Amino acid sequence: MSRKFVTVSSLSALALAASLGAAAAQPLSVVELFTSQGCSSCPPANANLIRVKDQPGVLALSFNVTYWDYLGWKDIFGKQEFTRRQVSYEPALGHDGPFTPQVVVNGHADVVGAAPGEIEKLISVSGRTSGPALSLDGGKISIGAGAAPGGHADVWLVRYAKGIVEVPVSRGENTGRTLPHANVVHALEKLGGWTGAAATYPLPAASGGLSTAVLVQSPGGGPILAAATD
């Protein structure tokens, strides 16, 4: 009887572990806010991103762009690669050029994001990524087999500061305001490609207390196929 009890307990433990693993691997809704500390229209969108950042199944990221720096305040988080990322989205989204604020969900739908409920509505309509299995574990990135539209996708490494940071602005359109930001991205790097076959990449250790996300995405600002975060 004791052997039977051990066997049942072991099977229950394995089932629990499997269920926990499955939960950890659930697809995400990737919410990217393109914002700037030099943009007077951006603070409401920043606040709306803060409201959704802790929702289950949501990966919220703030990308600070650079094209408003000339207005008198240089965004302290702004980087040219973040601006280029936003620009790459615009043709498929039907825009002539970038603007702020702009929220892009799963790489294929967008909204200004400044009005209450806009981001939540777009998440609801867009759903979650539905591409290959993706996990970050043991110092490596594992991508399962699946369909790569057009035969190729890009693998992006994102380093971001999880949580909220407040930035006092002393010049430009937001002079005198302290602006909150959620999950600010500090680095973006393309690691390589994915062709549909199962693949692994080494996962460099993060520094400075930053969190890590990995995106598998159709090239040229296309849809995000899969996402995972640590």
Say if CB 206 and CB 145 are below 8 A apart: no
Q: What is the pLDDT of residues 7-54, one digit of tens each?
A: 334 334 434 334 334 334 579 999 999 999 999 999 999 999 999 999
Residue stretches of the chain with pLDDT short of 50: 1-24
CA torsion 65→96→53→129, rounded to 10°? Answer: -120
Full-model pTM: 0.89
* Sheet strand arrangement including 211-217: 109-111, 102-105, 29-35, 58-64, 178-194, 153-168, 211-217, 224-229
Amino acid at 162: K
User: How many C-beta atoms lie closer than 10 Å to residue 2's C-beta?
Assistant: 6
Residue 26 pLDDT: 77
